[in-house]
Amino acid sequence: MLKKAVLLLLPFLILSLFFLINATALNENVPIVGPMVKKDQRKSLVSTDYGQISAVDISTDGERGSYPYHLQFIKLEPDALFLPVVLHVDMVFYVHTGSGRLSWADEDETRHVKLRKGDVYRLEPGTVFFVQSDFQRQKLRINAIFANSADDLHEPSIGAYYSSIHDLVLGFDKRILQAAFKVPVEVIEAITNGTKQPAIVHGVPKKERTFWEWEAQLMKRILGSKGYSMFDVNNKKKKTKTFNMFSGKPDFENCNGWSLTVTKKDLNALKGSNIGLFMVNLTKGSMLGPHWNPMATEVMIVLQGQGMVRVVCSSTMKESKCRNRRFRVEEGDVFAVPRFHPMAQMAFNNESLVFMGFSTTTKKNQHQFLAGKSSVLQTLDKHVLAASFNVTNTTIDQLLAPRGESIILDCTSCAEEEEWIMGEEEKKREEEEESRKREEEASRREEEEARKRGEQTQQEEAQNDEEEEQRQRQQEVEARRQEKEATRREQAAAAKREEQEREKRPEAVNNRSKKRKKLEKKSVGLAVAAREREEEF
């Protein structure tokens, strides 16, 4: 069984590799494709005892600022009323469960259309409408997408998709309201003094002409019936008719499931819009074969069951990042796939998978399938294909050998295999993340240790510098002390010499005096002796 699943997925895996190689060659960094929003991630807009409205903004590259697609999920309890609003943009919707009645203001009357499970319809900008659910056990659930214009599904620049009629009407002066309704001032006073109702309230009897119907008619008068009417005068019956997906003839059907596409040819109300619808029902263990939409982006909602989705990054992308993805989807999940991105949806062996979607074109989508008689590869030269995949011509012949249609086919355990691979990839990512964290932690520790070593080295250097400075200061102090001591000794020696000299000076004088006296005495003696000799002679 596993071998069979691998063989069935082999062509898709080959194409995945082909697109991945080309994507890498064109741009090394490409965005994540096929983002998904889980049911529990929806944003709550309205919540009352009679119903709820939640919303999802989803973009094909996972970036919120890159033109998201806006979807709302309206859920009405039995016998509940979604009060009148005026649409700012196109609204295309699918009735998921339950039944009810859609009403809108057209010229001087209110028109109605019954809603039941599987119905699809479109309301144009400027339409004033309200919805009431039937009094039955099943809730009325509506899945809606909003388009800014006939050119795209991007978020409106005005930042809102519809406005409450109550708020718009009561924004006018009482005098204007009285002139418009042509009723006594007491009626206007009663209306303007009333308490504001939430968006979803308890239902009202059909025959009772209530204030919100008056509001709707007033807004049609204010807005004008020509520019904002959703009907052509000569084509009212056609445009007031819904299309039911479960009553329509499938585009493809076999024992593995069926698919159906709704365009403006099927639903007249889609004329002038750029939104198409489709539904796919896969039985247990089946797969919508590998394919891509060359015309439009697809935004899908899982209606029933669980399954796996595989999306391959296209080499035509101009964005900066891209990687192939596989993910599990279940009831209520929303996922988007851009045009030219190969994909495959698979049901698990124990559960069917049903999903509907909106596409960004009302033209008949000719999906390009990878395998089967209608495979795009069948139109290419086999020698060129062999060169492209770097295999022999025989291998290409075996790959493209006729095996019947491969649109919706049996693929037992394919979803399980994809989930196992996804789990292994997740484990690998977790291991890589853990390894990265360990490396970062080791690097952080090394940096911390290096920082500490650096700080310690700096401290040691600072301490050494301080010790050196202290040693130099001590040497300078010692040198000054020695210099002072030497100066003191020199001064003491000089003083001593001077003292000694002073002491020597009187003795020298006495010696000279004695010597002089001795000389004088000797001279006297010589003189006496000379006289005596003279006397002798």
Q: What is the mean pLDDT of each run of 10 residues along the chain (537 residues)?
A: 47 42 34 67 93 90 63 95 91 95 78 93 90 91 81 50 84 83 84 85 67 55 44 46 91 94 88 89 95 88 96 66 86 91 94 93 70 74 81 80 78 95 92 92 91 89 90 91 89 84 71 75 76 73
Question: What pLDDT does residue 509 have?
Answer: 65
What backbone torsions phi and psi does residue 40 show, to the nearest 5 degrees? -75, 0
Question: What pLDDT does residue 339 have?
Answer: 85
Question: What pLDDT does residue 258 have?
Answer: 96
Q: Which amino acid is at 212?
A: W
Q: Which residues of 251-274 are buried (b: 16+ CB within 10 A; e: fewer)?
A: ebeeebbbbbbbbbebbbbbbebb
- Give the three-state DSSP class for 364: coil
Question: What pLDDT does residue 520 have?
Answer: 76
* Cα separations in angstroms, 124 against 148, 232, 234, 457: 11, 12, 17, 76
Q: How far apart are the first and last CA of the chain?
A: 181
Question: What pLDDT does residue 148 have?
Answer: 61
Both structure tokens of 68: 């998201």
Distance, in Å, from the CA atom of 122 to the CA atom of 111, rounded to the nearest integer, reads: 15
* Listed residue (406, 415, 420, 429) closest to 323, CA to CA: 429
Question: What pLDDT does residue 52 have?
Answer: 96
Question: What pLDDT does residue 513 have?
Answer: 73
Find where tokens 């691998």 sit.
6
Distance, in Å, from the CA atom of 346 to the CA atom of 418, rounded to the nearest integer, reads: 9
270 Cβ neighbours under 8 A, 6+ residues apart: 92, 122, 262, 263, 264, 276, 362
Distance, in Å, from the CA atom of 419 to the CA atom of 327, rounded to the nearest integer, reads: 8
- Could you tell me if 131 and 200 are in contact, meaning their C-beta atoms sit under 8 angstroms apart? no
Question: What pLDDT does residue 537 have?
Answer: 64
Question: What pLDDT does residue 320 have?
Answer: 53
What backbone torsions phi and psi does residue 495 show, to the nearest 5 degrees? -65, -40
Q: What angle do CA 294, 297, 303 make, to 5 degrees?
A: 120
115 Cβ neighbours under 8 A, 6+ residues apart: 95, 99, 100, 101, 102, 121, 131, 140, 142, 242
Angle between helix 185-192 and helix 174-181 axes, rounded to 10 deg: 120
* Cα separations in angstroms, 536 against 243, 492, 523, 530: 192, 66, 20, 10
